[in-house]
Amino acid sequence: DTGVSQNPRHKITKRGQNVTFRCDPISEHNRLYWYRQTLGQGPEFLTYFQNEAQLEKSRLLSDRFSAERPKGSFSTLEIQRTEQGDSAMYLCASDRGAGNTIYFGEGSWLTVV
Amino acid sequence: KNEVEQSPQNLTAQEGEFITINCSYSVGISALHWLQQHPGGGIVSLFMLSSGKKKHGRLIATINIQEKHSSLHITASHPRDSAVYICAVGQGGSEKLVFGKGTKLTVNP
């Protein structure tokens, strides 16, 4: 148990539907990250929060993707109008700041059919 | 060319063998991470290092900043070491990690 909790763990959705994933980081961690991983590849950075502020976003994060961390605790990642290319595992991670160990959640698997 | 390259992509070993996984990177870094990923997705941080060498149990990680290269060694490998090992680098000026594609290790009994 890494302490970072993600849900749902698995989601199958039809193309065009919206999906939302939730991440609960370790409680004292002020930094939270979202990554995306496809089969056979390493994770790719999507976005990063320090407390409630979204400080960095990847070009991978198209306008169909939005992430929030409203109170600096849990975070949500929403994908609107899903496409088959969105099928991947969405990983959340958190840490206490630079130089500290990063902790990953188990990931949320998305399949768009 | 990826910013982080790992070799080999796949590695099969017999129990007890000494394992080495390599990572080369092409950018300036603030830190390098070695991570372990088991089937099903969960990723565990093994090491974070910015210089020298670290050891934890049967695992040893080294980094050569001048050569932009790091190695992960596993001594006396065991079937439970079977996993994907991923190298990731943190770049100065950005909080994101850039990951290699991973090395799939299978240790047979």
pLDDT in tens, A16-26: 999 999 999 99
User: Does residue A97 have a pLDDT over 90?
Assistant: no
**A63: three-class secondary structure by DSSP:** coil
- The predicted-structure confidence for B41-97, as pLDDT tens digits, reads as follows 789 999 999 899 999 999 999 999 999 999 999 999 999 999 999 999 987 666 789
**Beta-carbon pairs below 8 A across chains A and B:** 64
What pLDDT score does B30 carry?
84
- The predicted-structure confidence for A37-48, as pLDDT tens digits, reads as follows 998 899 999 999
User: Does residue B35 have a pLDDT over 80?
Assistant: yes
Gap between the Cα atoms of A79 and A64, Å rounded: 6
How far off is chain B from A40, nearest CA to CA, in Å?
A: 7
Token pair 């190695």 is found at B71
Q: What is the percentage of chain A residues whose pLDDT exceeds 90? A: 81
B27 touches chain A (CB under 8 A): no
Gap between the Cα atoms of B57 and A36, Å rounded: 30
A58 versus A1: the higher-pLDDT residue is A58
Encode B13-31: b = buried (16+ Cβ within 10 Å), e = exposed. Answer: beeeeebebebbbeeebeb
- Residue A28 backbone zone (phi > 0: left; psi -120 to 50: alpha; other: beta): alpha
Contact A77, B11 (CB under 8 A): no
User: Does residue A79 have a pLDDT over 80?
Assistant: yes
Pairing of strands A75-79, A53-57: unpaired
User: Does residue A81 have a pLDDT over 70?
Assistant: yes
Mean pLDDT of A88-110: 92
Q: Residue B95 and residue A43: Cβ atoms within 8 Å?
A: no
